[in-house]
Structures are given as C-alpha cells and as structure tokens.
Structure 1
Amino acid sequence: MPVTTFSGLRKSVRLINYTPQTSALIVLFKETGVSAFFKQPLHELFEKSVPLDNFFAYSEISIIEERLDELNNNKKRIAVIEQFLCSKLSHNTTDKLVSEAIASIYLDNGLTQIRELANSLFISQDAFEKRFRKVTGASPKQFSSIVRMKSIINQNASSSTFLDIALENGYYDQSHFNKDFKIFTGQTPTDFFKSASYW
C-alpha cells in the first residue's frame, strides 16, 4: 500500500495490518466535504483506495511525506496535513440539497426510500442521484446502506434477537442481514457483538 492513500467510501470491511513501529494518520472527511478538495469523480472511488499522487503532483506528496516523517509528534503532523489540504481547497460552498438529503438519511437510520427522498426535495430521482454521487462519492442507496449498518452496530444487540434487528431495519430475513453484516464488519453479528469494539 502506498504511504499516502485516498480511500473512497466503503460498505465492506478492510483490515490493514501494520508492521511494528508504524502508525497511520487518517483524515476523515465529512460527507459533503471531500468534493471541495478533489475534482475527480468521487463515485468512481467507491470501495477503492488509490495513491494520493493520482490527485496531486508526486513532488508535492513526496515533500509532505518527508515532512511528516521528520516530525516527532502528531500535533505537528496534523498541522502539516491541514496546511496542505487548505492549500488545495477549491471551493467551500456546500450543496444544501445534498446536505438536507444526508440529514434525512441519518434521521431515518438509513431506511430512507430514495425515490421518496428525491420527491420530498422536489428533484427527479436521476438528477438527485447524480448530484448526490458528485458530492459524496456514493449513490444515495450505497450511502443509506452504510448509515443503516452503522445504526445497527450502535443499537444494543443484547436486548433483541438478530432476527428482530434484521426485520426492524428493513431486511426480509436474517440470512440477508447476516450476509450484509459480515461484508460490512468482517464478522457474523454474534461474533461481532461478543468481541471488543473497533468502532
């Protein structure tokens, strides 16, 4: 894996093993924030990780990597990353329609019907999906499935059966739920909720 990498939104687990004496500094963008820094079509990066020099000059990335390596604490490293990203900010206006859609998806815990959401925002479904993908890097359906699974993880699994959780969250049966859950977390629901949390 390259030293500096950009990862698009994911709905499947990705475990990374680090060698001893190494660490990772992760920049987590808000759903509507990443498009202010990258001009490339973000939806093409869904479930993918690519070297950062696909977006910025290799010489710039090399300088940043060297500066980060020379610094002795994370506070200074974060300042370098912030300075670099601020220099790359192409615009800072947010798409209010997409922001409203994201808020609605979170409010519904990812159970939102996309056609109904587009209608409530007075936009055609096709135009809405294109606009949403451009800003977030995922389709509304992909984004909703991530929000739904995160919501399930945040629920107290001990108070319900997994079948109840599946049905309450829009699944028709437990096997489909188990399959999606394992793709998202890398574990079955039983194993996940018994183990220490990485979330």
Structure 2
Amino acid sequence: MHPRSLPIPLYLRPYVKSALWLNRNAGEAFNFHILPRFHPAFIFSTEDTQDVANRYAGNELVFQPCNIYFGGGGVVPSLFTIPVKMDIILVLLHPQGTGAFWQEDAVHFFDRPAKISRDGQQLRILNEMIQEARTIDEKWQHILAFLTKKLLKKLPHNFSYVQRAISLIRQTSGIVSIETLARGSYTSQRNLLDSFRQYVGATPKQLASMARFNSLVKKYIINPDIKALYGKLERHGYHDASHLYKDFSRYVALTPQEFIGQENGINLVV
C-alpha cells in the first residue's frame, strides 16, 4: 500500500480531515477488520481499480473501477479483503461533515455505505470528469471544486455546537460526559443531541465511546504490549480487561490479540 497525502485548502478544513491517494498493486491478499468509522468517507475509484466485494457495516458492497462511494460514520464491524489492484482517492470528513454535505439528517447515512456515482446530475458529471482526468492531481482538483461548492454554504448556528463538542471529544479521547459536552458547547443537552442527529448521525455518547476505543487501539497498534495496555486501562476510561474485551467484540468482532495479529496499515493511515 502506497499512501500519498493530498492538500486540503484551509477553507475546507472545518469539514474535511484528510485526503489520500491509496495505490496497491495486485499481490497476496490481506484481510483486516477496520476500526469504528469516526470519520465518514468518500471513496473515488479510478480506472486502475479492480472489482472486489467486501463486508462493510454489515452489508456486501462491491467496489468497482470508475465509481464514487460514500460511507457515513459507523460502529458495525467491517471486514475488508483486498486481493487485487486498488487505486483510490479516499476523502475523510470530520464527523459533522455528513450532515453538512448532504443537507439532511446524518442519521440516514450512519452505518449505510453506498455507491453514489449516479445519485444526481452533479455526481454523474463529477465522476465523468474524474475518469477523464489523466493524473491524480487533476482528479483531485475536480473533487476539490465539487466539495467546495457543496460545503461552503451558510450553516445554521447549531453546527458550531457540534464542532465544539467534537473538539472536546477529541481533546479528552472520549472520556467526557454529555453534561460537560453541552456546557462546553454553550447549549443544552437536548439541543446537542438533536444537532448530533442532524450532522453526525450518532449520539455524543456513541461518538465519545468510538473515540475512546480508537485512541486506545492506536496506541496498542504502535506499541503492541498487551501487559502494558492492561496496566493503563483506567487511564483510557476502561474499568477492567472484560470492559476492554467487550468493546473489541462490539467494534471489530475480534479479541485484542487477534486484532493486533492482523495487517493494520489501513487502520493507522485512516
């Protein structure tokens, strides 16, 4: 796998976390369970991608060349197998980006991946422009122009509540109460819950739990010392080993040892 970062303009950074060109030549297949999807994503497959079917959020989704896919955030375990050549542009949004992009309640997109290449004239035209472009940089410029047009709109004031709450969730690695989130976002708990439904598709509690698990697992991938991990569970918001095992089972359908034994390059990149 050969990831290459693509530049994000400053004006898109409130919505877009990162963009990557991922290229992998055909070879020995590898399987991996992906972490809870904190960041919704666009996947733009180029003409150099080969067909591959995967279990994504409990559904079978066939990735094909010259198509656009969107997956909202999610918690349903997803198993990917990559046995063929893959050439994609992956755009990761901030959690609030789902509702901002689609202009409808993000709850409709949570854990619901789909091919969107022909969902409207704008997407059809974008897909054609991407496939006609000769280089990755040219393809990226078309995508940037499209995202700019879709995202740079005046949003209701409750968008800022969600931004502040997500910032707090990140700062605390998910170890934070809904009361603290509402207070730090300058709104009520009820209003914050409604705003999360609109822009994220998950509750603040769900997103905080995902952030807590992902934060701990990232450290675990980088330093796979299970004894050291168990010695610091409380620091990461876990009561004991059984609490941790419960989250591994819920989010990736693996034990900690099984998870660390898989190929985790994509999890580190994403």
> For the superposition of Structure 1 and Structure 2, which TM-score range results when normalised by the shorter chain?
0.7 to 0.9
In 1, are the aligned partners of 2:164 and 2:184 still within 8 Å (CA)?
no
Deviates more, 1:102-111 or 1:127-136: 127-136
Q: Equivalents in 1 of 2:262, 2:151: separation in Å?
A: 40
Say which structure is richer in strand: 2
Aligned match of 2:243: 176
Aligned match of 1:70: 132
Deviates more, 1:119-128 or 1:42-51: 119-128
Q: Secondary structure at the match of 2:130?
A: helix
- What's the C-alpha RMSD, in Å, of the aligned pairs? 2.8
The 1:51–1:196 alpha-carbon spacing in structure 2 relative to 1, beyond 3 Å, is: closer
Aligned match of 1:25: 89
Q: Equivalents in 2 of 1:188, 1:73: separation in Å?
A: 41
The partner residue of 1:104 within 146, 152, 168 is 168
Normalising by structure 1, report the TM-score.
0.81
Letter in 1 for 2:100: A
Aligned match of 1:114: 178
In 2, are the aligned partners of 1:166 and 1:174 still within 8 Å (CA)?
yes
The partner residue of 1:188 within 255, 260, 264 is 255
Larger RCO, structure (CA 8 Å, separation 6 or more):
1
The 1:72–1:188 alpha-carbon spacing in structure 2 relative to 1, beyond 3 Å, is: farther
The 1:47–1:113 alpha-carbon spacing in structure 2 relative to 1, beyond 3 Å, is: same
Q: Secondary structure at the match of 1:25?
A: strand
The 1:121–1:76 alpha-carbon spacing in structure 2 relative to 1, beyond 3 Å, is: closer
Say which structure is richer in helix: 1
CA shift for structure 1 position 144: 0.6
Q: Equivalents in 1 of 2:127, 2:248: separation in Å?
A: 36
Deviations 1:6-63 (A, max 9, x none): 1110224423345634422222112333433211211222111123268x51x43333
The 1:20–1:120 alpha-carbon spacing in structure 2 relative to 1, beyond 3 Å, is: closer
Letter in 1 for 2:78: R
In 1, are the aligned partners of 2:130 and 2:142 still within 8 Å (CA)?
yes
CA shift for structure 1 position 142: 1.4
The partner residue of 1:83 within 128, 136, 145 is 145
Structure 1 gap segments, 5+ residues each = none
- Please list every run of at least 4 consecutive aligned residues from structure 1 whose deviation after the TM superposition is greater than 6 angstroms: none
CA shift for structure 1 position 193: 3.0
CA shift for structure 1 position 129: 0.9
Q: Equivalents in 1 of 2:141, 2:235: separation in Å?
A: 43
Letter in 2 for 1:192: F
The 1:30–1:149 alpha-carbon spacing in structure 2 relative to 1, beyond 3 Å, is: same
The alignment of Structure 1 onto Structure 2 pairs a total of residues equal to: 197
The 1:53–1:71 alpha-carbon spacing in structure 2 relative to 1, beyond 3 Å, is: closer
The 1:24–1:187 alpha-carbon spacing in structure 2 relative to 1, beyond 3 Å, is: farther
In 2, are the aligned partners of 1:46 and 1:138 still within 8 Å (CA)?
yes
Q: Does 1:61 align with 2:123?
A: yes
Aligned match of 2:17: none
Normalising by structure 2, report the TM-score.
0.62
CA shift for structure 1 position 160: 4.2
Q: Equivalents in 1 of 2:148, 2:232: separation in Å?
A: 42
In 2, are the aligned partners of 1:152 and 1:165 still within 8 Å (CA)?
no
